Copies of this chain bind each other. A is one copy, B any other.
Amino acid sequence: MTAFEQLMAYERDTQALGQIAGRLGWDQETMMPRGATGQRGAEMAAIESVLHARRSAPQVAEWLEQAEAPDEVGAAHLREIRRSYDRTIKVPADLAKKLAQVTSEAQGKWAEARANEDVAAFLPVLEEVVALKREEGQALAAGGDLYDALVADYEHGTTSSEIAKIFDAMRPGLVDLRARVLDKPAPQGLSGRFDEKTQMQLARTLARTFGYDMAHGRVDKAVHPFSSGSGLDVRITTRTSETDPFNCFYSTIHEVGHGAYEQNISRDYLLTPLGRGVSMGVHESQSRIYENQIGRSRAFTGWLFEQMRDSFGDIGVSDADAFYAAVNKVHNGYIRTEADELQYNLHIMLRFDLERALMQGDLEVADLEAAWNDRFEADFGYAVDKPSNGCLQDVHWSVGLFGYFPTYSLGNVYAGCLHEALRRDVPKLDTDLAQGDTSAATGWLGEKLQQHGGLRSPRDTIAHAAEMEPDHAPLMDYLEQKFGALYDL
C-alpha cells in the first residue's frame, strides 16, 4: 500500500469512530436513562481521547509528508486530513478529554437549570466550560484572535470580523423591516389543539416529501431538535407542542435539510474526510432553504394547508392565503428556535456578540444573564420574563459550541444566494411545490451542492452551486419582497 492508501485506511477507522461519538450524542439527547450522565461523561471522554490520539498521531504527519494524491479528490482528502491534524496537535489531549467530560456534565446541569429557571445552578459549570474553551481557543489561535480560532471549527476560511461586517450590514435593514411589519395588523394564527401523535405522523410524511430517506435515518423527539450522523445512518429529531404544530413541522423540515445533505453526499466519500457536510454554515444553508425559501413559500404552504386540514380538520384559518400568512406570521417572542424568518437573525447577532465578548474576556459569565436581558430588550423592545426564555434557552454553550451561532445566519445568507440561483434554473418550481413535489428543488440542491460534501471550501461550495460569491443582498431582497407583500408595506 502507498502512503496515501495507508493514510486513507487509517482515516476510514477514524471517521467510523467519529460517527460512533456522534451517535452517543444522539443517544444522550433521545434515549439515555437520566441517571447515566456520569458514566456517559467517562465514555465520551474515553472516545474523544481515542479520536484525539488518532488525529494527532505522528504517523499521520509522516503519511501526509509522503502521500501523493492520485487526483483532485485525493488532493482534497489530503487537504482536509492536514487541516484536522494541524488543528488537533495544537490542543493538548488532556484538555480535549476534560472538555468532553465537563460539557457532557454541563448538558445535564443545563437541562435541570432550565427546568427550574435557575441560572445560578448553571453558571459554575458554564464558567468551567468558558474557561476551557478560552484555553482551547488560545491554543488554536497561536497568538491570533481566540474566538476566530473557535469559529474556524465550524466555518473555516472566515473570521469574526468578516462575519461582524456582514451582520452589521444586514442589521439596520432587519430592524427597520421588523418595525414596519410589526406596525401592521397581525394576521390570524392557527387555533385549536393538535394531537401530538398526528403531528409526528405528518412530520414523517413531510420528511419523506423533502426526500429524507427513512431506510438510512429515523425521526425521534428531543427537547432541542438536531440532526446527527453521516452516510448510511443519519438521524433527525423534532419536537411537538399541542398548540403549535408549526413548531414540529418546520423543525422537521429544517432537520431534514441537514439530514438530506448528509444522506446525499456521494457514496464514494463514505467514511472519508469529504463524506460530511463541509461546514456548519453550508449545512445551515440547506436546512434554511428547505425550511424557509421552499417550506414557507406560498406554493408549498398551499399544499401543506390541505395536508393539515386532512389530518386535523378545522385549523382556524379559512383559506390557503390566510394559512400562508399564518405560517409566516411575524410575532413577538423570546425563543430563537421559534423565531420567524425575519427576526431570526437578530437572535443570532445577540448570541454572536455575547459569546464573542465572553471569549475575548470582555464579558464575565456572572454578568451573562444581565447582558443577555439588556441586549434583548434593546433589540426587541420588551424584557425577558424568565431564564428559559433568555440565556438558558439554548443547549449550545453547555456543549461548548462557541463560534457556532454565527453560522446560523451565515447559512441564511448562503440560502439566499442558492434560492436566487434555484429560481433562475428551475422556473417551474412553484408549480411543483404547489403539488407537494419538492423533487426539482431538492434534486437541484443535491446535484449542485450536496453530493460534493467536503470537496471544496465552504465559500467555494456556495460559489460553485449558486454561481456567485456569497453575499447578503439576495437574502435581504427576498425578505423585503416576501414580507413587504405579506404585510402590505
Contacts and interface: CB of A to CB of B under 8 A. Distances in A.
Interface string A147-178: 00000000000000000000000000000000
Q: Interface residues of A toward B: which range?
A: 35 or more
A32 B233 contact: yes
Interface in A31-45: 31-40, 42-43, 45
How many copies of this chain does one complex carry? 2
A231 B49 CA distance: 21
Given A19-B43, A27-B27, A36 B271 contact: no
Contacts of A366: none
Given A13-B46, A46-B13, A218-B31, A232 B36 contact: yes
A16 interface: yes
A12 interface: yes
A33 B19 CA distance: 14
A215 interface: yes
A19 to B, nearest CB: 6
Contacts of A49: 13
Nearest to A30: B31
Given A24-B23, A231-B39, A233-B39, A46 B31 contact: no
Contact of A40 (B35, B37, B233, B270): B233
A363 interface: no
Contacts of A24: 20, 23
A33 B271 contact: no
A50 interface: yes
A30 to B, nearest CB: 9
A59 to B, nearest CB: 13
Contacts of A35: 213, 215-216, 232-233
A235 B19 CA distance: 22
A60 to B, nearest CB: 16
B233 A270 contact: no
Contact of A42 (B31, B34, B45, B271): B271
A27 B23 contact: yes
Contact of A33 (B31, B32, B214): B214
A17 interface: yes
Contacts of A216: 33, 35-36
A217 interface: yes
Interface in A43-64: 43, 45-47, 49-50
A248 B216 CA distance: 29
A37 B451 CA distance: 21
Given A36-B233, A39-B270, A271-B39, A17 B31 contact: no
A43 B20 contact: yes
Nearest to A43: B16
A232 B39 contact: yes
Contacts of A16: 39, 42-43, 45-47
| Highest count of chain B CB atoms <10 Å: which of A12, A32, A42 | A42
A31 B219 CA distance: 10
A102 to B, nearest CB: 16
B17 A39 contact: no
A50 B17 contact: yes
Interface in A298-350: none
Contact of A12 (B40, B42, B213): B42
A233 B28 CA distance: 11
Contacts of A214: 33
Contacts of A218: 31, 33
Contacts of A232: 33, 35-39
A346 B475 CA distance: 72
B33 A47 contact: no
Interface in A256-270: 270
Contacts of A13: 42, 45-46, 49
A317 B422 CA distance: 67
Interface of A: 12-14, 16-17, 19-20, 23-24, 27, 31-40, 42-43, 45-47, 49-50, 213-218, 231-233, 235, 270-271
12 contacts: A12-B42, A16-B39, A16-B47, A20-B43, A32-B233, A33-B215, A33-B217, A33-B235, A36-B216, A36-B232, A39-B233, A40-B233
